[in-house]
A = this chain, B = another copy of it.
């Protein structure tokens, strides 16, 4: 019984995600689904991209959190339009939440749309939101074993960003091992190593995103 309900819910989600995708495609606007553990640095990566693109590109951001509007406020501080979804207890965003959030953003006036999902390396993987590209931020302080331990997230991603490279030397993280494990799950992945805090590697990520999405 529960499994049937769950499958129906996922199917309903996929239908709405497809509608989001069609709507954005008609506007020639692409959406990124930005995923990762709590504290992997998703918002800080956006802030770092903001420093690169500020003035030249206008990005709309949908922020998903259980509670608080802190991340939305950080994005608005860049000067980008942001809208905050508070899920209450919900562990991931769903396509209908994003459909509603689209109503409050100036879509005609954007170069790119980013959804920052709830910090979660599990549930967020199974919900299509209508994105063109999935980016997983994995901070090097989390340990390279996380790739093999949370396979669906990496199987369904397009890009892996290894973040917090500025403190890599104080961790036991092996970028080689994480890359090898991720490619075993998904040979199509593209990788970037960055420090969102210092800005190292962010230009390369920014160039890639612009080439892919605008």
User: What 1/0 mask marks residues of chain A from 1 to 30 whose CB sits below 8 Å from any chain B CB?
Assistant: 110010001000000000000000000000
A89 contacts the other chain (CB 8 A): yes
Write out, one digit per residue, whether chain A residues 164-191 have a CB within 8 A of any chain B CB (1) or not (0). 1011001100000000000000000000
* A158 beta carbon closer than 8 Å to chain B: no
Q: Chain A interface: which size bin?
A: 35 or more
A181 CB, min distance to chain B CBs, angstroms: 10
A30 to B9, CA, bound (A): 38
Residue of B nearest to A152 (CB): B89
A150 nearest in chain B by CB position: B66
Most chain B CB inside 10 Å of its own CB: which residue of A118, A149, A166: A149
Interface centre among A39, A125, A126, A141 (most CB of B within 10 A): A39
Contacts of A152 in B (CB 8 A): 66, 89
> How far does the Cβ of A39 sit from chain B's closest Cβ, in whole Å?
3
The answer to whether A151 and B66 touch across the interface, beta carbons within 8 angstroms, is yes
Q: Is the CB of A70 within 8 A of B149?
A: yes
Chain B residues near A5 (CB, 8 Å)?
Answer: 1-2, 5
Which A residues are within 8 Å of any B CB, using their own CB? 1-2, 5, 9, 37-39, 65-68, 70-71, 89-91, 118-123, 125-126, 139, 141-143, 145-146, 148-152, 164, 166-167, 170-171
